[in-house]
Amino acid sequence: MTTEDYDQITSFLGEWGTFQWTVFLLLSLSTVPNGYAGMSMVFLSDTPAHHCKLPLLNGSLENLTWAIPEKEIEGVTRPSTCSRYKWINNTGAQLSNVTEGCLDGWEYSTDQYDNTIVTEWNLVCEESWKVPFSLSIFFMGVLTGSFISGQISDRFGRKVTLFVTMAVQTLSSLVQVASFSWEMFCVFFFITGIGQISNYVAAYVLGCELLGKSSRVTFSTLGVCVFYGIGYALLPLFAYFIRSWRVLLAALSLPGLLYIPLWWFIPESPRWLLTKGRVEEAEAILRAAAKKNGITPPAVIFKQAKHLVHKGELKNEPTYTYLDLVRTRKMRNVTVLNCAIWFIITISYFGLSLNTPNMHGDPYLNCLLFAVMEIAASVGVWLVLKVVPRRIVIATTLMTAGTVLLFIHLISTEYSVLGVVLAMSAKFGITAAFSVLYVSAAEQFPTVVRGMGMGLCSMSSKIGSTISPFFPYMGQYNKVLPYILMGFLTVSAGLLSVLIPETSGIDLPEDLSQVQTLNWCCLWCKKQPKAIQTCKTFQNTSSMENSQLSCV
């Protein structure tokens, strides 16, 4: 629905006041659990040192070296973790040269963990594939949530979607604590993934629609991204003091119950309400916001919208689906371009996390360093976006990060520390670009399909995340190949991002007719009398769908 200029009409609220700060802080806080929901598997499913149980040794490990065969792993000879020598006649007196599996189970080291899901269900040796597959199941849930949450958000509202999916994430995680089998753990981990991405996207869209132009940038960077990083940083702190997987998961899940009271403090999006013809509800929210800010609102806020309601033109609002994201040419271009960029940079984002050299030290410290880098990148983006357009930031950070990755293979092994620094620098650039992409994408999709548009972008990124582990796998055969491939992909994403419509300082589009044209370069212009021709894109004032490329 196209009514008046929403941002201009609601400008009486101001950019920052009690209302805006309340929305900013509460919605940002809601994203904290998203920072550790999936990454908690780093500690929940870690595999401690282990070896076959040797009951005939009566618990003594003095003769461990001759009771268990040795195996060379990464150039180091170590006791086998999956086999042992057979006892002759099962007397415990003499060993044969024949090996057998761990028929009596395994002994696990408790130096670092009291227990993990690996020690709980013996996910080692032939069952070791279940550990990475557990996280794959979580990402399948995230992928599913990305697909369904956008349509639910656009149909039933941002606020309802936010709180329902937060409840889904919290309750499914609590049920996971009581899992009696690996299969049960995975089923509820899948459901957790659905809730995890759904409430994150809903909170992001709701904040962007409730806040003004300058507030949206701060919310997108210092808000959801920084608080996501804070949640990520809390994970190693919790895990350092809690070494039992059930207690750790419970400690990470219970804070979700603290968000229940936020229902009475976070309003629905007035923009979304207007698209549904619920003008009086939208006005009530804005009047309450004005009261919080100590401002007297106009007697009638949405004059044109009320006029249309009285005429009956808003009673039968159309129902939008994912098909509307590709129905018109301009909307299709925006959708395909954003999905492609999100897909590509997610491969590099997770691929670098898995392939960064010399990150085999203390897991708690490593996790904390990654979280600090996330926060630093978000703060840096917030500062840069004050003076630099979104498209330039995205293109520059991606192309710089990609170029750095392409040159890492030239670093000699004698300067491995420099290689680590370059890899982390590239990760910083990709993280920064990702933060800006959230801002840009939310401003490109119109209100009527914004939830679905963001959900589709998120779904594309999660497809990329499922592919990213194959890049470090290639490193087993050629250490420089992953960097070359990720560098090429990142540079390609940077070049594609040049086409993104610039949204800095532009009002959020409300319906499909207000979608911007891509930033097409002037590939060909008809010859004109002027010696120098300059191409510019302009919108037909009668129809936003009819854009032209002309030379002046």
Lookup: tokens for 34: 């998203």
Is 445 inside any structural domain? yes
Flag whether pLDDT at 172 surpasses 90: yes
| More reliable by pLDDT, 244 or 98 | 244
Cβ burial of 536 (10 Å; 0-12, 13-18, 19+) is: exposed
Residue with tokens 């009261």, as numbered in its chain: 291
Q: How far apart, in Å, are the Cα atoms of 233 and each of 193, 220, 236, 483, 495?
A: 20, 19, 6, 27, 32
Q: Do the domain assignments include residue 486?
A: yes
Percent of the chain with pLDDT over 70: 81
Residues 485 and 546 in one domain: no
Distance, in Å, from the CA atom of 252 to the CA atom of 153, rounded to the nearest integer, reads: 26
| Same domain (yes/no): 206, 342 | no
In the listed set 284, 316, 348, which residue is the last one of a domain according to the structure?
Answer: 316
Pair 300, 205 in one domain: yes
The neighbouring-strand residues paired with 208 are none
Q: In the prediction, which pLDDT does 544 show?
A: 34
Q: In the listed set 252, 287, 316, which residue is the last one of a domain according to the structure?
A: 316
Phi then psi dihedrals of residue 95, to 5 deg: -100, 150
pTM metric for this prediction: 0.75
β-strand partners of 132: none
Where is 26: in which H helix or E strand?
helix 18-29
How many domains is the chain partitioned into structurally?
Answer: 4
* Same domain assignment for residues 328 and 308: no
Contact between 274 and 302 under an 8 Å Cβ cutoff? The reply is yes
Q: Of 316, 350, 383, which residue is a domain's last?
A: 316
In which band, very low, low, confident or very high, does the pLDDT at 378 lie, cut at 50, 70 and 90? confident
Residue 515 has pLDDT above 70, yes or no: yes
Mean pLDDT for 116-135 is 85
| Pair 341, 251 in one domain | no
- Of 257, 115, 117, nearest in space to 185 by CA: 117
- Residue whose structure tokens are 């199941």: 137
Q: What is the pLDDT of residues 23-66, one digit of tens each?
A: 899 999 988 988 888 778 888 888 888 888 877 666 555 556 67
pLDDT given for residue 107 in this prediction: 84
| 4 phi/psi in degrees, rounded to 5 | -90, 180
Phi, psi of 397 (to 5 degrees): -65, -40
Per the listing, tokens 């132009």 go with 213
Residues 182 and 166 in one domain: yes
79-87 long-range contacts, CB within 8 A, separation 24+: 79/51, 80/51, 80/52, 81/50, 81/51, 81/52, 81/106, 81/124, 81/125, 82/52, 82/124, 82/125, 82/126, 83/52, 84/51, 84/52, 84/54, 87/56
Phi, psi of 133 (to 5 degrees): -65, -30
- CATH code where residue 484 lies: 1.20.1250.20
Q: Which domain holds residue 88?
A: 50-108
pLDDT at 191: 92
Are 345 and 311 in the same domain?
A: no
Confidence at 170, pLDDT banded by 50, 70, 90:
very high
User: What mean pLDDT, rounded, does the chain reach?
Assistant: 78
Summarize pLDDT for 87-97 with one digit per residue, the tens. Answer: 776 665 566 77
Are residues 278 and 163 located together in one domain of the fold? yes
Same domain, 2 and 57: no
Do residue 169 and residue 305 come from a single domain?
yes
Confidence of residue 317 (pLDDT cuts 50, 70, 90): low
Mean pLDDT, residues 280-285: 85
Same structural domain for residues 6 and 93? Answer: no
Name the CA radius of gyration of the chain, rounded: 27
C-alpha angle 114/119/125, rounded to 5°?
Answer: 145
Partnered with residue 537 across adjacent β-strands are 549
